[in-house]
Amino acid sequence: MNNADIAEIFESIAGLLEIRGDSPFTIRAYRRAVQVIKELSTELEHMLHVNMDLEELPGVGKAISEKITELVNTGSLRYFERLRAEFPDGILGVMRIPGLGPKTALRAWKELDVTTVTELEQAIHDGRLAALPRMGEKVADNILKSVKLSRNEE
């Protein structure tokens, strides 16, 4: 598992924790770890292989260090799997659409029952997303453009 994969998982954890309403400090810790991991010039796997203490990295404490170690050693993270199980299957895909983010994904899920990118696209086409308070047509149109761009990248 490379640094980009680990950073993506930690970014997903931060987003899910935000949707769940967890402590902003915990969310910020995961986001800070994402930035640190993305900026590393050495793979975390190599750092662990040479017995480097990951807690020496800025923004990486004991809990995050243990999670990185589990990811590198097993290719998965039990904590992430348990957290992901609390949410509908497609919510991570919705959260990853540029211009959406965790808070808007939560609103779309709770208020419009949107849990997949396809359902999001339908909610935009039928005007339900734009009808949400503080959304509007322009925001919905920009999100639709992002959905189409993300589909073209797949």
Indicate if the pLDDT at residue 31 is higher than 90: yes
Look at the pTM and tell me if it is higher than 0.85.
Answer: yes
Asked if residues 94 and 120 have their Cβ atoms less than 8 Å apart, the reply is yes
pLDDT band at residue 101 using 50, 70 and 90 as cut-offs:
confident
* Mean pLDDT within 73-102: 93
Indicate if the pLDDT at residue 98 is higher than 90: no
Determine the pLDDT at residue 113. Answer: 95
Between CA 140 and CA 138 the distance in angstroms is 5
> Lowest-pLDDT range, 50-54, 96-100, 104-108?
96-100
Determine the pLDDT at residue 70. Answer: 97
114: exposed, middle or buried (C-beta count within 10 Å: 0-12, 13-18, 19+)?
buried
pLDDT band at residue 125 using 50, 70 and 90 as cut-offs:
very high
Determine the pLDDT at residue 27. Answer: 96
Q: What is the CA radius of gyration of the chain?
A: 17
Asked whether residue 100 falls in the same domain as residue 149, the answer is yes
Full residue range of the structural domain in which residue 11 is found: 3-84
Question: Is residue 127 classed as helix, strand or coil in its secondary structure?
Answer: coil
* Mean pLDDT within 128-154: 88
Asked whether residue 98 falls in the same domain as residue 124, the answer is yes
Indicate if the pLDDT at residue 153 is higher than 70: no
Between CA 113 and CA 72 the distance in angstroms is 35
pLDDT band at residue 134 using 50, 70 and 90 as cut-offs:
confident
- Name the domain boundary from 84, 101, 121: 84
Q: Residue 122: give its domain's CATH number.
A: 1.10.150.20
Q: Which residue has the tokens 């975390």?
A: 44
Asked whether residue 134 falls in the same domain as residue 77, the answer is no
DSSP state letters, 17-51? HHHHT--HHHHHHHHHHHHHHHH-SS-HHHHHHTT
Asked whether residue 59 falls in the same domain as residue 97, the answer is no
Helix (H) or strand (E) holding 119: helix 117-125
Determine the pLDDT at residue 154. Answer: 54
